[in-house]
Structure 1
């Protein structure tokens, strides 16, 4: 019994700080301490400045052999593609045509850059930050391409344009920071101390602000109005994908910290950016918001339960 309680407390120490910050964000918005203007500005600051510094420093301070895990990156990419494909097949059979693109995106696109990275840092420290930084930056490419493809199929105003996607990715500050970090690490360069210290100041702001912004965007009305389709997409993202592909990952040889990071990135709730893309594609933005809100709320339970299972099985 004591052993089980120890595992529970260990899991709470990992997930508690992350989801408490999300709840704090919801409370601050609820009591009008922050507003939509603050969330928009803070989100932009995080995306363009503080998150790039966090990813860059996480890579530069780590051993390149630790930060860059090709096997893990390839497996996560394949799992994402397969997860997207299965969700698409399911949507064709169960979801109205107009909502299929939004449903599929919500069912596979995870919030890896904030929620998964924060959890990885809490559980694995510098190891989680370094490997999570690379994974966060590189999966953005995959998420953007797959989301654009699936949304364009069901949109009359949104078309798949390979050139525009490449241009957008080349201008993405998160991808740029990861590539620069890898180059600096590979060349064995040492940035000046003043630069690293200043960068760490900025990086330390990232996760608290980003998590508060996520909480500030949550809507209880969206949770209440979430229908069966939103619940289906959320469960697909939070249960089907992480359970299936974590187990397969263990069977093919992932274990310990690698398997833990893999699970956290697979189990992350639907990314908030899926709302922006759904709206741009002329899809049902309310439906996208419902998936985001519901998956974020449910992920408190599903991620904690998953970590408990992995710890009890001694897989991590």
Structure 2
């Protein structure tokens, strides 16, 4: 456990540095938005293309790995939908609050996951994380948008969100990397070096933007729901991934990478989607902040259990 926590100290330190830098006059709000866009549209896509284009993963293992990941996502989605009537009746959780809990449990923070895996396992780990992104980002977005449309009065149509999904830079990068890999084209050495330099900048800057996006002013609001949501995401999702790994026979580093993907906090973009489609945006903001804090304890534990 100590070894795992020591390995994550740089990650936690960079997030804290981003939180501190956000509170200084060095960078404006527009600067942080620019940093986040740079990571989202340029640096992380370059990292994904480089790693997927050069990854060597057996096709059989790829199918089992993908099945394991989808099992955890669909399993959690189904459980939450089945228990939604009970949560409404016993806990008084209305439709908008349920959608925030749903997003908080099923969606994940790609910046944190990629950065941790890159620091722990290098390109091989990033390749598996890229596969996870390619496999679950499309169904996750469709599921969450459908839940928001069903349980809120949001006016954002499913077709519009699907259109945005097709323009998602992570999805585009995964498709490009996979095509380059499967066709045997790969990356020329000059382009590989270019993407390697760009991808190297993604890990640190991505974690800085995570820290800069934390908000503590409303953390004490919705204490019960925030605690419940954090437990579902940071404990429940990794346990489902462990179950999926057992069912599909996935072990070693691939299992640990998948557990990391399910043990990181929810996506910061969940707040934007909640605000656009009529979800409980304040609750969503609280869930994001609390999950980042609590994950500093739960994430090392999950990585240790996975056998790092």
- Give the TM-score of the pair, scaled to structure 2: 0.91
Is 1:68–1:131's contact at 8 Å kept on the other side of the alignment? no
Is 1:67–1:131's contact at 8 Å kept on the other side of the alignment? no
| Cα shift at 1:158 | 3.0
Structure 1 Cα separation of the partners of residues 152 and 239 of structure 2: 31
1:55 matched to which residue of 2?
48
Is 1:279–1:285's contact at 8 Å kept on the other side of the alignment? yes
Is 1:64–1:185's contact at 8 Å kept on the other side of the alignment? no
| Cα shift at 1:171 | 1.4
1:44 matched to which residue of 2?
37
Q: Label 1:280 to 1:262 Cα distance change in 2 as closer, same or farther (>3 A).
A: same
2:147 matched to which residue of 1?
150
Alignment of structure 1 residues 128-207 onto 2, 5 Å: 128-161=125-158, 163-207=159-203
2:108 matched to which residue of 1?
110
Structure 1 Cα separation of the partners of residues 70 and 12 of structure 2: 26
Structure 2 Cα separation of the partners of residues 160 and 81 of structure 1: 22
Q: Which runs of 4+ in 1 moved over 6 A?
A: none
| Cα shift at 1:30 | 2.2
Q: Label 1:310 to 1:68 Cα distance change in 2 as closer, same or farther (>3 A).
A: closer
CA RMSD in angstroms comes to 2.0
> Any gaps of 5 or more consecutive residues in structure 1?
1-6
| Cα shift at 1:127 | 1.5
Structure 2 Cα separation of the partners of residues 55 and 138 of structure 1: 13
1:208 matched to which residue of 2?
204
> Any gaps of 5 or more consecutive residues in structure 2?
88-92
Structure 1, 226-235 or 117-126: larger mean CA deviation = 117-126
Q: Label 1:250 to 1:263 Cα distance change in 2 as closer, same or farther (>3 A).
A: same
Q: Label 1:130 to 1:97 Cα distance change in 2 as closer, same or farther (>3 A).
A: closer
Alignment of structure 1 residues 264-303 onto 2, 5 Å: 264-303=260-299
- Give the TM-score of the pair, scaled to structure 1: 0.89
Structure 2 Cα separation of the partners of residues 67 and 273 of structure 1: 33
Q: How many residues align?
A: 303
Structure 2 Cα separation of the partners of residues 310 and 137 of structure 1: 22
1:26 matched to which residue of 2?
19
